[in-house]
Chain A
């Protein structure tokens, strides 16, 4: 069986509601959403057109994987890989866990918390992985690790640069140590891309923490992040409990990590596609003389 047998055209799952913005509770409220950054009611149509970024305060709300594909890729260029790879219940957590997986598959139309495939960004062909926080908080179990590793192995085979858009609270507890091992598995695949001279770009979106931050999300040749995205290893609450003090404002944000030297560039959502293209183009076609219009 060729790997291409697994290609499937991805239908967009556009979250016509609000992402993590709260629905407004005023009359005629289905037309409005409330920004979770500043609380302002925003006209839903504008909110969608603005890529779920608040016009007033610039808060970047969470996107679905399919919305992200639509935002980042040339129209109709995305072909999904491994759309049928799903997790099992290796620790026998029981029907509760399996049901939650089933529910999230139905809700997100994803096999697990990551969508992978081949796509074009401004005409440049890439392997693309997009995590979706709406699926079990983007947590990484065996299926997420498998899909990301397989994506990178295909990028290697096809000689493509890889773009990984992350959003995850970390490992998936219900899969125990198998979940932890996905950190090693995915990191090993990144190193193969490095060795082959294929660019690997990470785009950190809200939130990218714990096991995902501490593996493939921070191994990019280039690491971009969306404004305000929470990034880090330990959760804020755990830190506060350990050190018994309040955390400073702006702690563990994309801007914080840019300042401390762990993020190359904080890029607004609206500029993300162009920025990703330009940087990848510089890395993949260094010898071509391209005059930018």
Chain B
């Protein structure tokens, strides 16, 4: 999958690869290749330093962008996935389990999107059913009981809109998940790794610290949905994306995101090991700070953090 704005770069990179192959047969093209590589580097900089909100949405949804299970595999040891909400089913759109992060026992929970159609069908495109949120809640409570910090990865276009999901109380599952997270006595670290879609994202994202990968997006409604409502035209999604304030920079300015984790040039999918390293360092730093807090302070600070999220004024009546 290639993104529209990446095409000139990908073409150039293709050309360089071709030339390198030709060079293998003994022709000396070192000079030309080096020149083109320099050009590619410049192009990369100019493309990626001017990304629009809509470009970010494309990167955030990129199939090759690392997903929750990639982070779990790379950053955690001894992961045991734990299944089911103990009431109805196991939701494959939400992955959860116990593992160690830098030696420390933790609970990991995250939305899981697929990297191809087959995997996406299995994971329902990372769109949780009520059981996904209830599995998370069951394990949040267990983590609290044993004093385990919680790390959540956010990557969903939203909670699944379906008949059965509504029947089994999608809204209640999200509400109780959010409410539970506001009062847990263990540290909660949240990383938005891809797409943060509305209530389905927030259902596992009420963190003491909310970190966001640079090109991730987090939005109250999808740009397509917003465009449909505002202008009755889903094709104006690009315009909607720009208005919704869904980028990591805007959300940091609004005080809703605590730290932006910088991505390798071109996005996380273009240099995986750099991405994993950056996420690990950020998690490590914040976790060190949070585990030092007494449970009461932790809960009070979390309350104060969310209490402060809002922009209102007192109306002056004339």
Contact = CB atoms under 8 A, between A and B. Distances in A.
Interface of A: 84-88, 90-91, 93, 105, 111, 142-143, 145-146, 149, 171, 173, 175-185, 187-188, 190-192, 195, 209-211, 213-219, 231-235, 238-239, 242-243, 247-248, 251-252, 256-257, 260-262
Given A105-B315, A234-B162, A242-B162, 7 more contacts: A85-B313, A179-B220, A180-B198, A184-B178, A215-B178, A242-B160, A243-B163
A178 B256 contact: yes
Contact of B309 (A84, A181, A195, A256): A181
Given A177-B256, A215-B178, A233-B174, A86 B315 contact: yes
Contacts of A86: 312-315
Nearest to B206: A184
Nearest to A176: B245
B38 to A, nearest CB: 39
B219 interface: yes
Interface string B101-130: 000000000000000000000000000000
B312 A239 contact: no
Interface in B286-318: 302-303, 306-307, 309-317
Given A181-B256, A242-B161, A176 B219 contact: yes
B14 interface: no
Contacts of B162: 234, 239, 242-243
A142 B312 contact: yes
B161 A233 contact: yes
B29 to A, nearest CB: 50
B303 A183 contact: no
Nearest to A111: B315
A217 B306 CA distance: 18
Contacts of B153: none
A90 B303 CA distance: 22
A178 B172 contact: no
Contact of B199 (A146, A233, A242): A233
B161 A239 contact: yes
Contacts of B221: 171, 173
Given A180-B202, A183-B178, A84 B220 contact: no
Contacts of B160: 242
Nearest to A93: B243
A252 B172 contact: no
Contacts of B229: 173
B232 interface: no
B174 to A, nearest CB: 4
A261 B313 CA distance: 39
26 contacts: A84-B317, A85-B314, A142-B311, A173-B244, A176-B254, A177-B220, A178-B309, A181-B310, A183-B178, A183-B202, A184-B309, A187-B175, A187-B178, A192-B303, A213-B175, A215-B179, A217-B175, A231-B171, A232-B166, A233-B170, A234-B162, A235-B161, A238-B161, A239-B166, A247-B163, A251-B163
A39 B302 CA distance: 51
- Size range of the interface on B? 35 or more
Interface string B248-262: 000100101000000
A178 B161 contact: no
B182 interface: yes
Interface string B196-214: 0011001100100000000
A234 B306 contact: no
A230 to B, nearest CB: 11
A213 B171 contact: yes
A141 to B, nearest CB: 8
Contacts of A235: 161
A11 B126 CA distance: 49
Contacts of B307: 149, 185, 188
Contacts of B309: 178, 181-182, 184-185
B312 A188 contact: no
Nearest to A208: B171
10 A-B pairs closest in CB distance: A234-B161, A142-B310, A188-B182, A213-B171, A233-B171, A233-B170, A214-B174, A181-B309, A187-B179, A214-B171
